Amino acid sequence: MTVQKKFNKNHVVKNIDKTLYGIHHNKNKKLIKNTITHLQKCSKYCFAKNQGNPLELRENVQALIPHQFGDHSQCQPRFCGFKRNPELKYVHRSLPYKANLKHDQLRTQLEEVFKPIAFDAETYSQLGSSQQCEHANGEVLLPVPKSIHNGNSEALDFRVHATSATSAVMCINWCC
Ligand SMILES: [Zn+2]
């Protein structure tokens, strides 16, 4: 039996949001909300455009933060306007003052957020939808709804295995 592990797309995106707001609140006020909103959009775009293409996802994610800081050395024309028209002055339409982000410390912190995704691009390029995860959870816990189930019985183990075998989708990490 092979079980395909999947991250839930919505939870991956939410987790990125949480980490970005963590940087905003605790460490670095240089990361303002407009920038967070822009990075959220970029990360969603990365996942949406590169499903099924781990190499392209890794490339895109690795370039995501340097790009915001005006470093286009890892960018590709398919996702970078500067690479498409290097002779024009590139403007970040969605960033504050339409300018490159600054501050090395901020860049390092932001790059750390996306490193695990680049590292595990294989898994992140095959994200599951909420429906798939909730469907799997629903099967595992039938007939007791997830919200009121507290037990951890052998029967549950058995049902988990049975569900994994039939649906071949098991959601891990932030899914449940
Ligand atoms: Zn770029």
Ramachandran area for residue 70 (φ above 0: left; ψ -120 to 50: alpha; else beta): left
70 CA distance to ligand 1 middle (Å):
7
149 CA distance to ligand 1 middle (Å):
48
Query: For 31-45, what is each residue's pLDDT tens digit?
Result: 999 999 999 999 999
Rounded to 5°, angle at Cα 111 from 108 and 115:
135
Question: Which range in 2-6, 110-114, 142-146 is most confidently predicted, on average pLDDT?
Answer: 110-114
Q: Assign 3-class secondary structure to 77-88.
A: CCCCHHHHCCCC
Report how far residue 88's alpha carbon sits from residue 10's, in angstroms, rounded to the nearest whole number.
Answer: 36
42 CA distance to ligand 1 middle (Å):
12
Spatial neighbors of 114 by CB under 8 A, at least 6 apart, are 43, 61, 62, 64, 65
Query: For 131-175, what is each residue's pLDDT tens digit?
Result: 655 555 444 444 445 455 555 555 444 444 444 443 334 433 333
Per-domain residue ranges for the chain? 9-124, 130-175
Report how far residue 147's alpha carbon sits from residue 60's, in angstroms, rounded to the nearest whole number.
Answer: 37
0.75 exceeded by the pTM?
no
Question: Which range in 29-43, 52-66, 81-95, 136-150 is most confidently predicted, on average pLDDT?
Answer: 52-66
